[in-house]
A and B are shown apart, each in its own frame.
Chain A
Amino acid sequence: MKAAFPFAAIVGQDDMKLAMILTAIDPKLGGVLVFGDRGTGKSTAVRALAALLPPITALRGCPVNSERAEDVPDWAGAVDGTAETRPTPVVDLPLGVTEDRVTGALDIERALTRGEKAFQPGLLAQANRGYLYIDEVNLLEDHIVDLLLDVAQSGENLVEREGLSVRHPARFVLVGSGNPEEGELRPQLLDRFGLSVEVRSPTDVAQRIEVIRRRDAFETDAGAFLRKWRKKDAAIRDAVLAARGALATVAVRAPALKLCAELCMALGSDGLRGELTLYRAARALAAYEGAASLKAQHIRRVAPMALAHRLRRDPLDDAGSTVRVQRVLEEMGA
């Protein structure tokens, strides 16, 4: 297994990095969608995030990474009570994956050799309390998408097979990446992502050179490169941990909530999910910056990523959704 590129060493792409950090602070934000040009380091950032995240505590042997004994599903077999730390799970959902592999299925080996019905957990179990990453998310087969939507909504995976009825918690942060030119994403799935960011190749040659230089340094001597960036990665990790703790203490006053609501109304975003996400994302940002209360500037910063993908598409408006959000922000003088 190759070491991941350090998160702190990713040049530019501030929106993408911020969105990922925010979901790490508040997993309830509901995932990040990264859409954009090829070769802009989308996958690199996800793998880097995985390496950056603080480890979780889970019971040894628990297939769904449970922290407490009562959360361990009854089919899990022998789980001893000792807790262990494991890295935050970041599970790849490859294209072409079978339904069985995603949801889990009966254990063929045990059925064959011992005639036993036993459940073999799938990717959703592995991803519980962690991240589920889908590259080229717009090429994912429809039935897998439906299945993910169900589970993401309920936070629980239910499998019925051979008279076996199995359920287990499956709460994960969905991270999707893709290129819009391969095809659009279904609106249902789009809405399910809390934040969405567009990434582009840097247009500045100096920045591009820096990207390639760092990449080359990493490939030439990964160890030295990682050592060089370890401190900065650790600083981000500490800030994420501190922000998680501070999340509940960020004071939220009425004007800030009013701004969220007004913004969503002005943009005509569907449903209340947008408002809730905007609020949560802004609060996570406030916590990350160590602010005592939620301010308009936090809302302004996260509004494009929280709302851009929820706007009804107006094909006759040439401006991208992000620009429209910014335009409304300016009009409101927020």
Chain B
Amino acid sequence: MTDGPWAQAVTALRLLSIDPGGLGGLWLRARAGPVRDAAFGLIPGLLGQPVKLHPAWDRDAFLGGLDLARTLTSHHECRNPGLLARDAAFLMPSGERLEPEKAAWIAAALGRDGAAGTRRCLVLGDESGAPDEVPPVLLTEQLGLFVDLTEVPLGDIDLSLARAGAAARPLAEVALAPADIDEMVTVAARLGIDSLRAPLYALAAARAHAALMGRAALAEADKRAAVELVYTVRATQLPAEEAPAEPPPPPEDRQENDNPADAGQGELPQDLLVQAVALRMAELRIERAHAARRRGAGGDGAGAKVAATRRGSPKPSRPGRLDGRGRIDLIGTLRRAVPWQTLRGAGPGGTAVRILPSDIQIKRYEHHSDRVLVFVVDASGSTAMTRLAEAKGAVELFLSRAYARRDHVALIGFRGTGAEILLAPTRSLVQTKKQLAALPGGGGTPLAAGLVSAGDLARMSRRHGLSPSIVVMTDGKANVALDGRADRAAARADGERAARAIRLDGFDLAIVDSGTRPNPYLKDLAGQIDADYVPLPRADAHGLSRVAGALLDS
């Protein structure tokens, strides 16, 4: 048995066919293309004809509603049960575009019966490459398996793998030993996986794998396949002693993983499982730094996701009055009026539809006023720590007041030779607190890099439907140019260009001068590009938060 991602994907689908209810589903990361199509092509054979879902479909499609056409012809109330009521495998190709709300509907449908007997499961395609665009965690949490096909070349596709036949042994005949449970839970704990669903999925996957192989008890290979499929994407840490670990052994070594010689190296079987996951993580370039941050976040930028899908997406219409402000949803209004026509005395042969004020449906779009405030903080030099701490305080203060306004906050720090996004746009105070627990400081002042980074983030946020504003807090002693050289003149010129670019894109910008004495360079800069200039010598969290509020409300 080969060990590549393609084989893993095939295994995952076969496991899913053995125990759909126990595993919940497969999160399949792959770009649109022949490899993904080939993987999707296996689904009908293994899981039955899947019910396709699309992120853009509306409530009625997912959850059902009144079937107007049938209701009118039959003169009885006919309801369309909605796709999620089906007992079948679901396929959602572009999960990264799924809104959290719809994700919650699907998650609820998957979790409804949970146990044996159901054929419900979900294959969630995910075309995202960037870590800021992932399917909502509340759904991926309920999908036991994860495979990444992003790097798979077309040549690796081997359709014969899927024809290997059904499970060699019924699932019910595979018994779990108490030691298996202990091992899976311990491995999960060592990988920093908090959720208790993960070990359940790993056990289910291992059992299904044993059934597939015709074993009555779990073998090392079953557990290994299971942890690779279940824990890799969930792991948030590697145990310290193995982190810098051995270089990945050549693939030949890994193929015979139930080889007793492998286990006989004086290591606990647990260690082998942890290592297996570590290898997978290395292959997927899930770096430890990234994993560590994810541990803090736990939500993979869920806050930003909420925002990303807000704008432009029409919400279900609501009853409303004709006050000249809302737009009528004509179809919705008719749909609402039609069932009552008999009641209102419109004869069966009558052509007029009687519409009462209570039928009026007003179109709704999610508010366009979702704003994101990008704090750009100078983390250089000796005062970096205080400034960062105050900026952090300001971010948190701002968020605590922002719940009603639904504003998002992001934080960028610049120091040394570059800038770093310390906090991606989020609305969650909890997430913010976790991510900003420790911030790095010190080094040169690459103001330009900070501004460029802020501009990029602002543009990205705008694409996601947010309205960004930027607050820069610095003492203005820019001394590192964009290319990383320590050249004061070039640094200033770059800074001006970057600031101008931000203003040209139409973003509001406030420059908070945190130096003990106002810095003329910053004041000039602000004047030239028509940005707000606020000297705040003892920049404290409250002051900064006020400036930000004023900027947004201007």
Contact = CB atoms under 8 A, between A and B. Distances in A.
A181 B200 contact: no
Interface residues of A, number: 52
Contacts of B541: 316
Contacts of B111: 43
B422 to A, nearest CB: 17
Contact of B77 (A41, A108, A117, A318): A108
Interface string B53-90: 00000010011011000010001110000000000000
Contacts of B62: 96
Nearest to A2: B115
Nearest to A41: B196
Contacts of B302: 181-183
Given A95-B105, A162-B358, A315-B399, A216 B343 contact: no
A139 interface: yes
B222 to A, nearest CB: 16
Given A211-B196, A315-B393, A316-B541, A113 B428 contact: no
Contact of B115 (A117, A208, A219): A219
A181 B434 CA distance: 11
Contacts of B420: none
B196 A316 contact: no
A215 interface: yes
Tell me if B's interface is mostly helix, strand, loop or mixed.
helix
Contact of B59 (A41, A96, A117, A135): A96
A38 interface: yes
A209 B182 contact: yes
Contacts, number: 162
B317 to A, nearest CB: 11
Given A181-B302, A183-B428, A111 B203 contact: no
Interface stretch (B184-192, B223-231, B456-464, B510-518): B184-192
B245 interface: no
B214 interface: no
Contact of A39 (B77, B182, B185, B197): B197
Contacts of A162: 340, 343, 356, 358
Interface string A116-137: 1100000000000000000110
Nearest to A316: B393
Interface residues of B, number: 71
A254 interface: no
A143 interface: yes
Contact of B189 (A109, A184, A205, A213): A205
A200 B430 CA distance: 14
Contacts of B141: 38-39
A181 B431 contact: yes
B71 A183 contact: no
B7 interface: no
A316 B197 contact: no
Contact of B138 (A38, A94, A96): A38
Contact of A316 (B113, B199, B298, B396): B396
A161 B185 CA distance: 54
B108 A39 contact: no
Contacts of B104: 95-96, 135-136, 139
A115 B427 contact: no
B357 to A, nearest CB: 11
B347 to A, nearest CB: 11
Contacts of B343: 106, 111, 115-117, 162
A139 B303 CA distance: 12
A180 interface: yes
B159 interface: no
A169 B456 CA distance: 54
B532 interface: no
A98 B178 CA distance: 46
B303 A183 contact: yes
A109 B101 contact: no
Contacts of A111: 339-340, 342-343
B272 interface: no
A112 interface: yes
Contacts of B116: 219
B298 A39 contact: no
A156 interface: no
A15 interface: no
Nearest to A109: B77
A161 B397 contact: no
Among B184, B189, B196, which residue has the most Cβ atoms of chain A within 10 A?
A: B196
Given A116-B343, A136-B138, A315 B299 contact: no
A313 interface: yes
Interface in A165-179: 179
A108 B138 contact: no
A249 interface: no
Interface of A: 2, 37-41, 43, 94-96, 98-99, 106, 108-109, 111-113, 115-117, 135-136, 139, 141, 143, 161-162, 179-184, 186-187, 200-202, 205, 208-209, 211-213, 215-216, 219, 313, 315-316, 318
Closest 8 CB pairs of A and B: A39-B195, A315-B396, A181-B299, A39-B197, A109-B77, A201-B194, A180-B430, A315-B400
Given A95-B104, A183-B306, A316-B397, 12 more contacts: A40-B196, A41-B196, A94-B63, A111-B340, A112-B71, A112-B342, A113-B75, A139-B100, A182-B428, A212-B203, A213-B181, A315-B400
6 contacts: A38-B197, A108-B71, A109-B76, A181-B298, A181-B431, A216-B176
Interface of B: 22, 59, 62-63, 65-66, 71, 75-77, 100-102, 104-105, 108, 111, 113-116, 137-138, 141, 176, 178, 181-182, 184-186, 188-189, 194-200, 203, 297-299, 302-303, 306, 316, 318-319, 339-340, 342-343, 345, 356, 358, 393, 396-397, 399-400, 403-404, 427-431, 433, 541
